[in-house]
Structure 1
Amino acid sequence: MPPPTSTDPWLAARRFGVVIDAGSSGSRLQIYSWKDPNIALIDGGDSVRHTLPKVEKGVKVGEDWITKVEPGLSSFADNPEGVAGYLEPLIQHARSRIPPSLEPETPLFLLATAGMRLLSPIQQARVLNAACQYLRSASNFRIEGESKDGPCGLSVQIITGEEEGLFGWIAVNYLMDGFTGRRSEKTTYGFLDMGGASTQIAFEPADSKLQNNDETLVDVRLRLLGGEEVKHRVFVTTWLGYGTNQARERYVTETIRLAEEARTADGVDADVIPDPCLPKDLVLLETSPRLDESFSHSSAPHKLVGTGSFTQCLQKTAPLLNKDAPCLAAPCLFNGVHVPPINFASSHFIGVSEYWYSSEHVFGLGGPYDFVQYERAAMEFCRRDWDGIVEQHELSKQSGLLGGDGEVLQDGQVVKTGVWGDRVELSRLQMQCFKAAWVVNILHEGIGIPRIVDPGGNSSTRGEQVAQQAEVKGLGRPMFQSLDSVEGIAISWTLGKMVLEASKEVKPLSSHTKPLVDPAQDIPSTSQNPPIKPIRPPFFDLDVIEEKLSQHLPPALTRQSLGFSPIAFFFYIVVFLLLSCMICRVRKSFRVTFRRMRRSPFKRDLDISYSMEEGSLPPGAPRHSSSWTIASLFRSLRRLMSSSLVPSRPRLTPLITTTPRPHLRHAHSLPTPSSPARATPTQYHNAYPTFGTSTSSQYHSRSSSPTPTVLGFDDDGSTTSMLPSSISSLSAGAPSVARSRNSSQMSLATLVPRSLSRASSMSQIPTDTLGEE
């Protein structure tokens, strides 16, 4: 049917939201709608101020708000190009039900569950990227931009089992009016969900002290139409491998293992194994790849023959709960998983999915749960002959019965049982005995819900005596009920997601109020052990980048045409060039550092020798020379790192300055001052006016004019003094007037200003100026 027109009063101030539940067996699109929160508050007034926005079906009449495609999205793990064609009928269906003018403000979510969780991170990234690209190009629905959460932000993502449980908890309590601004008048319902691979629990602990201190709880914040925010601290966890299918696989593995052990010990034929969890005389061929290779027949098919004993099935499946597993954070329910204490006197639990299917579709006992009724129905079904069950199933299909609860009503009375409609397949009937036992064990042995047994042993129980709320909402017992829908609205985690989105549109009471986000986004980043760890595929992947860019490349440059990935080739070329540039950049620094490592022991020995010549060692100087030390290596490495990270300074040209020529003196005729470094050239000249006739006159004739001194910069930036050649020649003439070898040696203090570095100065002065005759 076409989308509603603008003249339709139902469409006035209506908002829409679309969710694609990408499960393991198929993807289901659901369209929801709600009235604009501001308009709803104006129309309803105080009567709706303390309620959440009313989320309804996305169509005015009919069931066109749901459509489904098969198989699951995870089947495109190795063929992401097929995702677009897979999603096309879903998007076209949504566009045909939502007015085009409302598409830009309609949020669209593709949230994948169990099937996508089993893929590798790279496969997850490819599928999500392909889905994101198609959703952006095929519609104008509101989709988040690229972020750390994914190519389409939180609009296209894989949710965890805990997130699935929290959304389901919101849906249940929304339908049951569990949310209100007056917390003293209401209590929230716990949520139980069981699929084929896992089972979840989500509930709000009744202990207020526990709510304030337990870090395993998650904040769920919603906003009522009046702007008031309600916050609930909810515990949620999931048990992987404890869904019905995975539990059945573990049960078969254990059964075959015990049979193989019996074969080895007693020589018993283990090819035929009695199974109390199958209807009587049903034969199934089962193999178990999980068994150890020591059992020679483990990989061969084994015949499991049903004995139809529900009581024995309960006993044999109970150990699968693994209640003896170590509990690291007490208290624990089963498999060592921590769960806060549950007060069943005040807690109400609602079960969906397998809890509903196992109760309603075969036994007709959906709704209020009564253990006596349920156990009686299961025992009767299990001990039925399998051939009779198959015959009855065929008759039901031929007569066109549309039931499914196994009961035939006539004038309001049940006249026959064991009659099933088309939606109950033979595979369901084969596993019904096992699934019924597994549900009972999870509820009572696992979660701990008390068994309520009629002490009088009457043939009827109190299952039909329900509270007034049960008559209105379809609920009964305060401890546990199985449900599929409430007032025509299916209980689904997708509904909880849409309730949260509608709540986000409510205007808060204060502009400083923290925005509403999904519960998983509300967990503090400082949490050491967060209760929910979102699934985020890798952000960087060459194949994903190639898929994005290949759309803009000519056909001749694609992978199919070239035989290799041009994007990957270009990427590796860029990486090679960058590495080459980095190596060239640090080449000089590495060479200089290597030279310093070789030269530093020689320079250090020179410093020590000249210090010893003046009668003292510098503080901390070693008493012996060493050619190499660990400290010098680390100093060189630090210089290398700093020079490679910090831009090098340009080499400066030599700077010529003028300084007065220092006076020369005869070394042996000088009195030894207490501090030679403080003596000035003028003092020495006044004390010894005649150094030599020719030399002295030449010196005095030139001392009136300044003598240029050249200052340069070493490789490491230190200043180096280069004395003019006149001083060197003057120094070379000193031995001619010397009377002895000792008197011919001139002190370095009189030749070079003390402010200059000794090591740098000596590297520039020829060695023959040291006074050798």
Structure 2
Amino acid sequence: MAPPLANDPWLAGRHFGIVIDAGSSGSRLQVYSWRDPRSLNIPKGSPLASKLPKVEKGTKDDDLWVTKVEPGLSSLENDPEAVGTYLRPLLSHARDLIPPSLHKDTPLFLLATAGMRLLSPKKQAQILRETCRFLVTHSNFKIDEPSDIGPCGSSVRIITGEEEGLFGWIAVNYLMDGFSASSQDRTTYGFLDMGGASTQIAFEPSKKHQDGTKDLIDVRLRLLGGEEIHHKVFVTTWLGYGTNQARERYVGAAITKYDTARAADDRDDDRDDEEHHIVPDPCLPKGLMLTESPVHATNPETKHLMKSHKLLGTGSFEQCMKRTAPLLNSSKPCPDTPCLMNGVHVPPIDFSVSHFIGVSEYWYSSEHIFDLGGAYDYVQYERAASNFCSRDWAGILKEHEESRVQHRLGGDGEVEEGGKVVAAGQWGPQVELPRLQMQCFKAAWIANVLHEGIKMPRIVDPGGNSTSDDGDKVEEEAAKKGLGRPTFQSMDSVGDIAISWTLGKMVLEASKEVPPLVKAAKPILDPIDDIENPDEFPIKPIRPPFLSLDGLEERITPHLPSSLSRNSLGFSPVLFLLYLTIFVLLIIACPMRRVLRASCLRSVRSLTKRDTMYGDMEEGNSKLGNGRPPSPTSATFGGRWLYPVRRVFFGNSRPTPRSPLSVVTSNKPILRHMMPNGSGLANANGSVRASPTRSFTLPTGGFAATASTTQYISRSPSPGPSFDDASLVPGQMQAQASLMTSRSRNASQINLSSMAPRPGAISRASSSYHVNGMEME
């Protein structure tokens, strides 16, 4: 479908918004639209000033505003790179509906729910990162910049069950006209939602109960006139209390009870593993047999718990109510009173004031089979459920097949002619076999959640509704008796707009665009992001760890001015500077790679030589293992290593090299000038150079000796060595003469007088010894 033409009057001043509901079974894209609040000329005192922006479908004439892909996004947990292929049809559909000129101003949200919550944080982060990358690179829609929330800010994230409940609460009250300037003085509608995995409740406690409740969320919305309204809302979720997971828990409890009874009767437990055990189940229609395994085993030590069992329906709604009631865990300890199911704190609910609307499973289980959607009457509901559960499964199956062939519509297929019901039990095509199989259980579970769970009274008007047979008249009769709105009603849509938490999210986005009365007013935020002390609040947003360059951008971007943002520049300034820094470092490192490599090799070789030399010296051998002194470049490692850096910053001037270490050649062995006190070396002009020596004590005589691993070349033109004999005492001179005239097995022979060294003599000495101021090599 081609997008609307630019000259279409319907497009004048219209804004769009996109929400992708990434659920556990599939991802549903919904396109919404609304008139730009800034383009509306609303006179002061106009009724429109007290209304919220009107959010509508994102298409003009048809139902193409919604499309879906299956399975859920969480199914890509082991293949996150396939996110692009998965989302491409949804993104293409949105591009076709919205004019290209409006893409950059159209916010896009992908908000994941239950399926993604069950994944590990690492897998969550991988999928969300790939999702963000695909949406940013393949569309021009408005997507948030990286932040602490995620790589695409709040545009791509996982929402909690509480956030689902809050958005649903906004949607319900928006459609039921619960928001206005005068709504501050009356209680809004409560919201109940039940899916397959969890159930949520969101409601605004009465004024007298708000002060004693500390975990309320402030929901702020801005009306078209610029006035801001506030509502204190309590929201919580029960994971595992959806119909599917409740059924799994029920099966585990039923099989446990059955096997425990068998063991108590001393029956034979050693049967073939393939044998199925038949368990009576009052929550299935009479005669229906299903093979199920106890996913939620309540007693792991029972031998048969992990085997599949056959459950045979006995069709008793009353017994099913009794069997499912313990699954509510209403007796669980309550750390923060008052509590409802599973020890979860919920403020007191005044049902004479608070009225609730239920969606999803509350609607399906009431309307699709019983045709009782809308105002709720427990008496009628119980009668319809009891009749259905007690029916024979074969008869139900036959009527379903006839209905499928004839494509009859309606909940339980009541066919009216002339105002009279002429046929019943004919279900529409939307009712599938799994719905018929589980209808008895789901009906009992919903009734228990409403009445035993959240404590809704079964009959609000004693003697009024108890004998009513017409559910359509419940609301009318309640109004006549002054009871006001019905306590509970199930709904699916209002007009042509479906009740969905995605609608609540778009109402919030449209409200953000309304100009405030005061320019310094605080911006409208999502309720979960508007909590004053989030660390102390019991509801925590889901924040997977994003360990990547995007994470660095997320932390830095909020501290940059708006002119340096990704949207303003068209690229990320943080990543640009990071890549530029890496490029500069590579340019500096390239000229140094050879020096770096050579230095590493010399360091390794030097360490090897030193270890060998020290080992030889301790054994009395002073020569190096390879017969050569250390490399003369080791002393200048720092200068040569830093030379390329200096060349980049200070020009082509080489640093002044240090004096190189001496190398004793075979034809000109040069002797060192030694200070008489043995503390250093002196050249011909008398300058003293410290000798890098280490000291040790000779075993006899008490002489102090130093072993040197280096030799120095004298730069003076002195023809030969000389000693300052005046500084030696006679005993020391005799000791020196004795030592210098003796030949050591481990040292080179040298002449201490003025005679020249023998041609061709090679100095093998690698050590020198100071003995009371004298040196022997």
Alpha-carbon distance in structure 2 between the residues aligned to 1:494 and 1:382: 35
Residue pairs, 1:459-608, within 5 angstroms? 460-461=468-469, 463-467=471-475, 477-525=485-533, 527-528=535-536, 530-540=537-547
Distance change in 2, residues 1:454/1:397 (3 Å): farther
Partners of 2:418 and 2:338 in 1: CA distance: 51
Alpha carbons 2:315, 2:391 under 8 Å: kept: yes
SS in 1 for 2:4: coil
Other-structure match for 1:220: 219
CA distance in 1 between partners of 2:464 and 2:360 (Å): 33
Query: 1:202 deviation in Å?
Result: 0.2
Tell me if the contact between 1:347 and 1:478 (Cα under 8 Å) persists in the aligned partners: no
State the shift of 1:214 in Å. Answer: 2.4
CA distance in 2, matches of 1:304, 1:526: 47
| Matched residue, 2:433 | 426
Match of 2:285 among 274, 279, 284: 279
Task: Tell me how far apart the structure 1 counterparts of residues 189 and 308 of structure 2 sit (CA, whole Å).
Answer: 45
The answer (yes or no) to whether the contact 1:181–1:230 under 8 Å persists in 2 is: yes
Conserved 8 A contact 1:180-1:186? no
The code of the aligned residue for 2:255 comes to I
Partner secondary structure for residue 231 of structure 1: strand
* TM-aligned CA deviation for residue 419 of structure 1: 1.1
Structure 2 CA distance for partners of 1:484 and 1:470, relative to 1, 3 Å: farther
State the shift of 1:476 in Å: 8.8
Residue of structure 2 equivalent to 1:701:
none
Residue in structure 2 matched with residue 703 of structure 1 by the alignment: none
Does the aligned pair in 2 maintain the 1:282–1:306 contact within 8 Å?
yes
Q: Aligned partners of 1:526 and 1:68: how far apart in 2?
A: 34
Residue 396 (structure 2) pairs with residue 389 (structure 1): yes
Q: C-alpha separation between the residues in 1 aligned to 2:347 and 2:300?
A: 40
The CA deviation at 1:278 is 0.3
Partner Cα separation in structure 2 for residue 139 and residue 457 of structure 1: 55
Aligned residue for 2:358, secondary structure, equals: strand
Please say if residues 466 and 476 of structure 1, whose CA atoms lie closer than 8 Å, have aligned partners that are also in contact: no
Deviation at 1:193, TM superposition (A): 0.2
SS at match of 2:145: coil
**SS of residue paired to 2:303:** coil
Question: Given the superposition, is the C-alpha separation of residues 457 and 147 from structure 1 closer, same or farther in structure 2, using an over 3 Å criterion?
Answer: closer
Shift of 1:290: 3.6
Residue-pair matches, total = 552
* 1:256 aligned partner: 255
Partner AA of 1:504 in structure 2: K
Alpha-carbon distance in 2 for matches of 1:456, 1:179: 31
Contact 1:368 1:477 in 2 (8 A): no
C-alpha spacing 1:389/1:462, structure 2 compared with 1 (3 Å): closer
Work out the percentage of aligned pairs sharing the same amino acid.
63
How far apart are the structure 2 equivalents of 1:194 and 1:469? 28
The Cα offsets for residues 366-393 of structure 1, whole Å up to 9 and x where unpaired, read as 0000001100000000000001111111
Listed as ranges, the matches of 1:9-88 within 5 Å are 9-42=9-42, 46-88=46-88
Deviates more, 1:263-272 or 1:120-129: 263-272
State the distance in 1 between where 2:343 and 2:296 align.
22
| RMSD value, Cα | 3.1
**Residue of structure 1 in register with 2:583 after alignment:** none
Partner of 1:365: 372
**How far off is 1:192 after superposition?**
0.2
**TM-score (norm: length of structure 1):** 0.68
Is the alpha carbon distance of 1:437 and 1:506 closer, same or farther for their aligned partners in structure 2, counting shifts above 3 Å? Answer: same
Aligned pair partner of 2:315 in 287, 308, 321: 308
C-alpha distance in 2 between matches for 1:494 and 1:469: 33
1:266 aligned onto 2:265: yes
Q: Mark the CA change 1:526 to 1:70 in structure 2 (over 3 Å): closer, same or farther.
A: closer
Distance 2:37 2:418 in 1: 46
Change (3 A) 1:43 1:56: farther
| Inter-CA distance 111–20: structure 2 relative to 1 (3 Å threshold) | same
Aligned-pair distance for 1:41?
4.2
Q: Is the 8 A contact 1:122 1:541 kept in 2?
A: no
Matched position secondary structure for 1:395: helix
Task: After TM superposition, give the deviation of residue 455 of structure 1 in Å.
Answer: 4.0
1: distance between equivalents of 2:431 and 2:534?
Answer: 49
Q: CA deviation at 1:212?
A: 4.0
After superposition, the Cα gap between the structure-2 partners of 1:293 and 1:38, relative to the gap in structure 1 and judged at 3 Å, is closer
**In structure 2, how many angstroms separate the alpha carbons of the residues matched to 1:532 and 1:172?**
22
Compute the displacement of 1:47 (Å): 1.8
Q: Secondary structure of 1:225's match? A: coil
Q: Which residue of 2 aligns with 1:624?
A: none
On the 8 A contact 1:262/1:268 being kept in 2, the answer is no
CA displacement at 1:137 relative to structure 2: 1.3
Partner of 1:90: 90
Q: Which residue of 2 aligns with 1:230?
A: 229
- Confirm or deny: 8 A CA contact 2:248 2:295 kept in the other structure: no
Alpha-carbon distance between aligned partners in 2 of 1:492 and 1:457, rounded to the nearest angstrom: 30
2:174 corresponds to = 174
Counterpart CA distance in 2 for 1:390 and 1:285 is 18
Indicate the residue corresponding to 1:103 in structure 2: 103
CA separation in 2, counterparts of 1:458 and 1:77? 51
Q: Give the whole-Å Cα distance in 1 for the aligned partners of 2:44 and 2:126.
A: 47
Equivalent pair of 2:377/2:465 in contact (CA under 8 Å): no
The residue identity in structure 2 corresponding to 1:324 is S
Find the partner of 1:447 among 428, 436, 454: 454
Structure 2 partner of 1:566: none
Instruction: Tell me the residue number matched to 1:645.
Output: none
Distance 1:146 1:379 in 2: 54
SS in 2 for 1:16: strand
Deviation, 1:329, is 0.2
Deviation of 1:466 (Å):
4.8
User: Any idea what SS the aligned residue of 2:502 has?
Assistant: helix
| Map of 2:748 onto structure 1 | none
Give the Cα separation in 1 of the matches to 2:467 and 2:181: 44
Gaps of 5+ in 1: 546-569, 571-576, 585-773
In the alignment, the residues of structure 1 paired with residue 44 and residue 75 of structure 2 have an alpha-carbon distance, to the nearest angstrom, of 47
Counterpart amino acid of 1:517?
A: L
Deviation at 1:182, TM superposition (A): 1.6
Structure 1 residue 213 displacement after superposition? 4.9
Q: 1:406 to 1:185 in 2, by over 3 A?
A: farther
Deviations 1:260-299 (A, max 9, x none): 1111101358921111000001001111144344222222
C-alpha contact (below 8 Å) 1:466/1:477 kept by paired residues = no
Q: Which amino acid aligns with 1:338?
A: H
**CA separation in 2, counterparts of 1:304 and 1:312?**
15
Which amino acid in 1 is paired with 2:543? R
| Matched residue type, 1:410 | E
CA change 1:159–1:469 in 2 (3 A) is: farther
1:280 counterpart SS class: coil
Alignment of 1:746-761 (within 5 A): none
* Alpha-carbon distance in structure 1 between the residues aligned to 2:234 and 2:465: 37
Output the amino acid matched with 1:499. Answer: V
Larger mean Cα displacement after TM superposition, 413-422 or 110-119? 413-422
Distance 1:363 1:342 in 2: 28
Task: Find the residue that maps to 2:169 and give its secondary structure.
Answer: helix
Structure 2 counterpart SS, 1:89: helix
Alpha-carbon distance in structure 2 between the residues aligned to 1:418 and 1:226: 51
